[in-house]
Amino acid sequence: MKCTVELICVGNELLIGKILNKNAQWLCKEITKAGGKVIKETTVSDDVNEIALAVKEALKRKPDFILTSGGLGSTPDDLTLKGVAKALKKPLKLNREALLFLKEKYLSLSDGEKINLNKARVKMAILPEGSIPLRNPAGTAPAVLIKHKATNIICLPGVPKELKAIFKKEVLKLILEKTCGKKFFEESIMIRGVFESEISSLISKFKQKHPEVYLKSHPKGGKKIGESTLELHFSTFSLNEKEGKEKILAAIVTFIKMLMRFRPLKNPS
């Protein structure tokens, strides 16, 4: 029922700040909604050794899934599959199924005219041995599924529309099979007139009373005590919608009571 996921995002453009890593944020939201738990996100450069090291380190933690994003294209700096192959000590081989997909894709893009699958295009069909190509409904480079012991490694393109399309079509169902219907429930309340540092001890006591609910405080500004605003975010996982919502509601009621005993609050909402 527990489903752990690690993300490895590949690309120099992420590390120099040229591109905001919206793929990681989107994947975290979708995985969490599906009942999975993202336990780590790593960003590495377009370097075979760095990619391989990140994959090997992730495998040591034995997550159910490792999702990579980026580096599956036709250019020389698209090196994700080389890095994954190195981490797994697998040779890279031409995958006939992936090659067929590429032929069909380029044929459709050329309005039926024969198009040359040059070396750069064929590169996208050269996968680690034992890989299962996943069709890309929004682009050319196929995604790749590699099963390694108890971990599923899934390599996704970095282009957001392609990543999202493949995730929804191919990856989500695998995560749902693992979570067995478990869902994520969340709710936030805003409180005014108290600083985050003042209620640290209350949060610790709350966690002892409701260990199944995760509480995170988010300061929203205010230089003076009377002006300070905090968002309190409550979240939990449950197989049952009614139970999940009741857990959240009970947790909020408990914490508000603790706060009111601690000191009267201004405008709780």
**Three-state DSSP string of 69-126:** ECCCCCCCCCCHHHHHHHHHCCCEEECHHHHHHHHHHHHHHCCCCCCCCCHHHHHHHE
| CA–CA distance, 44 with 159 (Å, rounded to integer) | 16
Q: What is the token pair recorded at 207?
A: 């966690």
Answer yes or no: do 150 and 81 share one domain: yes
Are the CB atoms for 78 and 112 separated by under 8 Å?
no
Answer yes or no: do 87 and 58 share one domain: yes
For residues 105-121, give the mean pLDDT. 83
For residues 90-117, give the mean pLDDT. 88
Answer yes or no: do 100 and 28 share one domain: yes
Answer yes or no: do 167 and 208 share one domain: no
Report the phi/psi class of residue 233: left, alpha or beta, with left for phi > 0 and alpha for psi in -120 to 50: beta
Whole domain around residue 254: which residue ranges?
A: 183-262
Answer yes or no: do 258 and 131 share one domain: no
The CATH number of the domain holding residue 153 is 3.40.980.10
Residue 267 lies in a domain: no
Q: Domain tally for the chain? A: 2
Residue 27 lies in a domain: yes
Answer yes or no: do 189 and 173 share one domain: no
155, 179, 203: which is the final residue of a domain? 179
pLDDT bucket at 263, cuts 50 / 70 / 90: low
- pLDDT, residue 268, reads 47
Answer yes or no: do 173 and 136 share one domain: yes
What pairing do the DSSP bridges indicate for beta strands 183-192 and 92-94? unpaired
Answer yes or no: do 119 and 81 share one domain: yes
Residue 60 lies in a domain: yes
Dihedral angle sign, alpha carbons of residues 14, 15, 18, 20:
positive
The CATH number of the domain holding residue 225 is 3.30.300
Residue 242 lies in a domain: yes
Answer yes or no: do 63 and 150 share one domain: yes
Answer yes or no: do 122 and 175 share one domain: yes
**What are 134's strand-pairing partners?**
143
Answer yes or no: do 74 and 98 share one domain: yes
Q: For the segment 58-71, what is each residue's pLDDT rounded down to a tens digit?
A: 999 999 999 999 99
For residues 87-116, give the mean pLDDT. 89
Residue 112 lies in a domain: yes
153, 179, 205: which is the final residue of a domain? 179
Answer yes or no: do 51 and 141 share one domain: yes
164, 179, 194: which is the final residue of a domain? 179
| CA–CA distance, 239 with 218 (Å, rounded to integer) | 27
Q: With residue 231 as reference, give the H or E element that holds it.
A: strand 229-238
Residue 268 lies in a domain: no
Q: Is pLDDT at 97 greater than 90 in this prediction?
A: yes
Residue 269 lies in a domain: no
Q: For the segment 115-173, what is each residue's pLDDT rounded down to a tens digit?
A: 788 999 999 999 999 999 999 999 999 999 999 999 999 999 999 999 999 999 999 99
Residue 148 lies in a domain: yes
Provide the Cα torsion 28, 34, 40, 46; round to 10°: -60
pTM: 0.90
